[in-house]
Structure 1
Amino acid sequence: MPESADDDALPPGRRRGTRGPAQDEAVSAAIEAAAFDELAAAGWRRLSMDTVARRAGVGKAALYRRWRSKEAMLLDLVARLVRREVPGVPDTGTLAGDVRGFLDLTVAQTADPRVVRIAVDLLGESVRNPALAESLRLAVLAPRREAAAAILWRAVERGELPAGLDPELGTDLLISPLLLRLLPGTPPVDGVYLDTLTTVIVAGLASATPSTSPARQTEPGHIHHGP
């Protein structure tokens, strides 16, 4: 019986009927790695299902059995990656320790140069693609902000931050400065920089009181995901 062109198999001779869970997991892992490699190399606009399949060494049907389109594939893979890699919420017992732990985890996530290239590419594309922007907000930004909010809420419970802390401003302070420093072309991040940034963020959080807008006066544990 000839081998089907639609087989997921990586090694020659493997047929659809012989696939098992381990083989399916291997194929899925190969597709994920190929998709991120291709996205980093070619960018969102030039990436296609064909190029991902070739790079992964599988038939194109292996991708379409999992996702209906390039967009669905990439957004699903990005969301899965974020769920696996979003910074855990460090609990060191102090706000300064938690902030530094959060920063360290963020730096570790960007050690792979593909991550920054992909992030910049998707950010640029989202400016032109509102649907992509909304999907990325839910899949990428929301989990990170939830992790940051947990740090703030614990600090409020410990009495290290005021109970009236503005949660949106607080999460901005925890996330934004370091992400900007990790963009291409910026100086490298070292321990001295992270120590200083931790001190600045902690000081800023102590002053991050709510604005006069009632809509912003919410608990640090609650993240408003609307505009």
Structure 2
Amino acid sequence: MMSETSSGQVRRGRPRSEKARQEILDAAAELLLERGLEAVSMDAVAERAGVSKATIYRWWRTKETLALDALYQEWAAMRPGVRDTGSLRGDLLSLLRPWVRIVSARPYGRIIAALISEAHTDPAFAEQYRAHFVEPRREWARVIIRRAIGRGEIAASTRIEVAVDLLYGSFYHRLLHGHAPLTETFVREVVDMLISGLGGPPVEGPAEAESVEGPARSNR
């Protein structure tokens, strides 16, 4: 998490209210989804959460770091980790399907776009964004690919970082540009194409795909 308490810059003073902190995060998430980052201010969050701005600043110095924590919390329910299904395809589908269900159901694309824009202009925030938001998801994918190498499904020479870029790049391309829907069908297509490019086993067909986590459903 990105708040001051997690960054190691803990200020002395009276114990902070976890209830107030949670209310702030909930309020920030609601406002972000309703209005987007540009239209959200610390004043608006304070009013929605029923706290003072001083209370917010105890944990977050900027609305961008608050937004990052709020988004982190919104997605916290989706922590598939690196479930071992026995195959590279099954592992990747298990990782990506829950995430796609969440991000395609609400207007997260504009929030992420705003955070990326801020990361390009603020090096300190960029470091926080990558460390707390980007890197954990990349590491999940790395573990899955390394596991597939260990099983002998793909070559030991596989360039893992490139494979991770190819995997997530396709989803963020649709999420950020909105030129096509981000669906579970698309997840399967990307996973199958990636595995084919990595020299993995051929796809066994739709029935195998559905067995990973039940029937795929479109969120659009």
Tell me, yes or no, whether TM beats 0.5: yes
Root mean square deviation, CA, Å: 2.8
Q: Looking at CA atoms only, which structure, 1 or 2, has the larger radius of gyration?
A: 1
**In structure 2, C-alpha distance between the alignment counterparts of 1:182 and 1:43, rounded to whole Å:** 15
CA distance change for structure 1 residues 83 and 49 in 2, over 3 Å: closer, same or farther? same
In structure 2, what is the Cα distance between the partners aligned to 1:107 and 1:120? 16
Change (3 A) 1:86 1:93: same
Q: Which residue of 2 aligns with 1:131?
A: 124
Displacement of 1:174 in angstroms is 2.2
Task: State the distance in 2 between where 1:184 and 1:74 align.
Answer: 21
Question: Pick from 176, 193, 203: which aligns with 1:200?
Answer: 193
Equivalence for 2:170:
177
Give 1:88 deviation, angstroms: 1.8
Q: Percent identity?
A: 37
Q: How many residues align?
A: 186
- Matched residue type, 1:136: Y
How many angstroms does 1:108 deviate by?
A: 2.3
Residue of structure 2 aligned with 1:113, choices 106, 117, 122: 106
Q: Give 5+ residue unaligned stretches, structure 1.
A: 1-19, 208-227
TM-score, length of structure 2 as denominator length: 0.71
| Structure 1 position 94 matched with structure 2 position 87 | yes
1:36 matched to 2:49: no
> Residue 166 of structure 1: CA displacement?
0.9
- Could you tell me how far 1:53 is from its partner in structure 2? 0.3
Aligned counterpart in structure 1 of residue 54 of structure 2, from 51, 56, 61: 61
TM norm structure 1: 0.69
- 1:192–1:75: structure 2 CA closer, same or farther, 3 Å change rule? closer
- Residue number among 137, 141, 147 corresponding to 1:144 in the alignment: 137
Q: Which residue of 1 aligns with 2:40?
A: 47
Deviation at 1:125, TM superposition (A): 2.5
> Any conservation in 1 of the 2:65–2:125 contact (CA below 8 Å)?
no
Q: Distance in 2 between matches of 1:178 and 1:167?
A: 17
Q: For the Cα contact (< 8 Å) 1:82–1:139, is it kept in 2? A: no
> Which consecutive segments of 4 or more residues in structure 1 shift more than 6 A?
none
Give the AA of the match of 1:34. Answer: A
Quote the offset at 1:116 in angstroms: 2.0
User: What stretches of structure 2 of length at least 5 have no aligned partner?
Assistant: 1-14, 201-220
Q: Comparing both chains, which one has the higher relative contact order based on Cα–Cα distances under 8 Å and sequence gaps of 6 or more?
A: 2
